[in-house]
Structure 1
Amino acid sequence: MDLILYAVPFFFLLIALELLADRWRGRRSYSLADAINSLSTGVLSTTTGLVTKGLGLLTYAFAWQHLALLALPAERAWVWLLAFFGYDFCYYWLHRLGHERNVLWAAHSVHHQSEEYNLSTALRQTSTGFIFAWLFYLPLALLGVPPLVFATVAALNLLYQFWVHTRHVPKLGWLEWVLVTPSNHRVHHAQNPLYMDRNYGGVFIVWDRLFGSFQEEDEREPVIFGVTTPLRSWNPVWANLQFYAQLWADARRTRRWRDKLRLWFMPTGWRPADVAARYPMGKPDLGQFSLFHVPLGARQQAYVVAQFAVHVALGSYLLAFGASMPLAGLLLGCAWMGWGLFVLGTALEARPQAMRLELLRLGLNVPMVALAAPWGLLPASAWAWPALLVYSVASLGGLAWQRGAGLRLGAAAR
């Protein structure tokens, strides 16, 4: 049973309730572009994860089958409790090193790029974390935690972390000493020097208290959310590539081969001396901090929301049926999702090429649907062509609707 799939409707319901709480309390913790950007990175992560998460699961299963020191019974409650606590302990170190080493931060930084803080931020997840994450959970396989138990507690750990991404819940008394709470996790998402790189636990804050990485939220120091190298983009594909691109640029520019290699595994923010001298990077003045914003007309926003809803629907379809699809069909679905979310990002940024890219995306739907049934993306193609026709006509109508109001996608650059 895929717990994340069943939780998706509740995620959106709770986001809607948080929006109502914002309105009731006179707060503003959401902006449309930021929320869609966060949700887009989540959709992209879950979609690509259908292909990539197999690396970690297969590696874990192999280590458990051939290298486990114990044979822990999956039917015993104490094994589940051990696995739940053990998973969070391993997560703590993955998360901590994800902030402390360049190549791991390149993956994890996606989750921190939002300058807002709300429940949609919880769904803002990386698409590249699979590269190294599996290494941190191998101790559980060696201990003998069965794969089914491991996969279940991993999902429960992730589900717990959803609710702590909110500004509406204050400090919770003695629970602040034991659990990761919204207050504790707000600190984690801060870019203030006082708070930065603190509170790494997923469920339990005790690890941070034990290993010296805890910081309490201080009402005298309001949290400023985001990262010190701002994304300044609404594009989920670029969100996943930004820090990798920065590391690659520094590796290419430095003259020493040793620095080209070690740069990736040095502490976060470390740069070769010759590159730092020739290409200095200043940190933003938090006293002058302002949210990233690109003005969009109401009709542009409505079109983007409608198209994003289509991508959520397809992403849910892939999540529900991806396990039974052949690899070719799954890759086709992932490619369509990634390309579509990239194009929506250019629209949110009002890029000059956004209209052309959107027309190209709609045109490519024809060969995509032609390949969908033979490659296993769709169970049958009888309804695919009528659905494509309706969708394409409606999309073209939406584009014409924008133009009729004098609102062209990409009319002005950032």
Structure 2
Amino acid sequence: MNFILYAVPFFFVLIAVELLTDRWRKVNTYRLSDSINSLSTGVLSTTTGLLTKGVGLMTYAFALDHLALLRLSPDSVWVWVFAFVLYDLCYYWLHRMGHERNVLWAAHCVHHQSEDYNLSTALRQTSTGFLLSWIFYLPLALVGVPLLVFISVAALNLLYQFWVHTRHIPKLGWLEWVFVTPSNHRAHHAQNAIYMDRNYGGVFIVWDRLFGSFQEELDSDPPIFGVTTPLASWNPLWANLQFYAQLAADARRTEQGWDKLRIWFMRTGWRPADVAAKYPTTQSDLSQFRKFEIPLSPSQQVYIALQFVVHAALGSYLLNMGDSLSVPALVLGWVWVAFGLFVLGVALENRPWAIKLESARLALNIPLMGLAPMVGMWSVSSLGWVALLTYVLLSAMGLYCARGHFIRLAGS
């Protein structure tokens, strides 16, 4: 059962509840650009996952068939309990290494780039984690946890982590000793020195207490959210590539052959000595911390928000139909979504070429719709063409109305 698919509507309901709570408490934990950026990385991650989920599933199934030491039955409730706990232990080490090794941080840092902390942050997920994360879950296959049980407890673990991404829930007494809570996960997302690389558990905080990586949230040191090398972008594609690009650049620049390889697997932040000397990086001063922001007019914000809803709907369609769509259809859907989210990122950054790129995107919807039936993505009726052309026309009108704000703000 795809628990994530059924949970998506509840995610957005809870985000709406948090927004109402913001209003009631007269605080503001959401910014439109940051929230759309977080949600865009989530949409990109789920659509990418439709193409890449086979990596983890096939490697797990192979290990289960050929390397398992035991054969556990999915009919036993204790097997499910055991698998749930063991999965969280494996997640702890994946998460910890995701903070402590360059190549793993390159994937995981996406989740930490937001400088806000709210329920939309929970949906901010990497699109490249599939490359190495499967390695950390092989212990479940070795002890014979059935594939169905593995998939189910993985989804449950991920679902649990959604609710802890909020600033509205205080410390929860004795629960702080056993479970991951909003308080101790806020500390995990902070870039304050005292909180760095702490609180890795997904469901159980006991692993952190056991392995010495726990840090309580302190009233005397309020968390400042984000990463020490700010993304400084609203583009979800760049969010996924930023740290890989930094590692690749350092690997190219160093003159030491061994350093070109080991930089990927060294502790996070390690750089070759010759590169660090020639291309020093500056450490951020949290006392001068300012959130990344680019001003947008109300008309720009409305236009971008509505366009994001369209792309989220397309992503939801792909997620719902993923098991029945062909690979070419999934690839076309991914390109459609990814390019659209890229263009929205450009618009959120108010680039000078945002209007031209958005105009090109709107025009490309027509040939993409024509291509969709050829790859089995969907059949297009006359009503479908009318709906698409209406969408393109209304979007073009909205873009025309907002064009002056894009040009004026981009040039200011």
What are the superposed Cα offsets for residues 77-124 of structure 1, whole Å, 9 maximum, x if unpaired? 000000000000000000000000000000000000000000000000
Which residue in 1 is equivalent to 2:367?
367
Query: Residues 108-123 of structure 1: matches in 2 within 5 Å?
Result: 108-123=108-123
1:369 alignment partner AA: M
2:406 corresponds to: 408
- Within 5 Å, which residues of 2 pair with 1:283-322? 283-322=283-322
SS at match of 1:412: helix
Task: Please give the alpha-carbon distance, in whole angstroms, between the structure 1 residues aligned to 2:184 and 2:245.
Answer: 31
Residue of structure 1 equivalent to 2:348: 348
1:229 equivalenced with 2:229 (yes/no): yes
Residue identity opposite 2:299 in structure 1: R
1:70 and 1:154 map into 2 onto residues whose CA distance is 20
The 5 Å alignment of 1:4-43 reads: 4-43=4-43
Q: CA deviation at 1:410?
A: 7.8
C-alpha separation in 2, matches of 1:302 and 1:409: 16
Distance in 1, matches of 2:16 and 2:365, equals 31
Residue 142 of structure 1 aligns with an amino acid whose one-letter code is: L
Residue 275 of structure 1 aligns with which residue? 275
Equivalent position amino acid for 1:79 in 2: V
Contact 2:295 2:409 in 1 (8 A): no
The alpha-carbon deviation at position 308 of structure 1 amounts to: 0.2
TM-score under structure 1 normalisation? Answer: 0.98
> How far apart are 1:379 and its partner, in Å?
3.9
Residue by residue over 1:162-195, the C-alpha shift from the partner in whole angstroms, topping out at 9 and shown as x without a partner, is 0000000000000000000000100000000000
- The answer (yes or no) to whether the contact 2:35–2:121 under 8 Å persists in 1 is yes
Residue of structure 1 in register with 2:104 after alignment: 104
Which whole-Å CA distance do the structure 2 matches of 1:374 and 1:3 have between them? 31
SS in 1 for 2:99: helix
Q: Aligned pair in 2 of structure 1 residues 388, 292: CA closer, same or farther (>3 Å)?
A: same
Q: How does 1:243-282 map to 2 (within 5 A)?
A: 243-282=243-282
Other-structure match for 1:212: 212
Compute the RMSD of aligned alpha carbons.
1.1
Conserved in 2, the CA contact under 8 Å of 1:347 and 1:354? yes
Aligned-partner residue type, residue 290 of structure 1: R
Structure-to-structure mapping, 1:182-201, within 5 angstroms: 182-201=182-201
TM (norm. structure 2) is 0.98
Aligned AA (2:306): A
User: Matched residue of 2:224: which SS?
Assistant: coil
What are the equivalent positions in structure 2 for 1:325-404 lying under 5 Å apart? 325-403=325-403
Q: Equivalent residue for 2:3?
A: 3
Write the distance in 1 (CA, Å) between the matches of 2:279 and 2:408: 31
Contact residue 111 and residue 124 of structure 2 kept, 8 A:
yes
Q: Which amino acid aligns with 1:326?
A: S
SS at match of 2:406: coil
Q: Report how far residue 376 of structure 1 moved.
A: 1.2
Contact 2:296/2:409 (CA < 8 Å) preserved in 1? Answer: no
Q: What CA distance in whole angstroms lies between the structure 1 residues aligned with 2:214 and 2:261?
A: 32
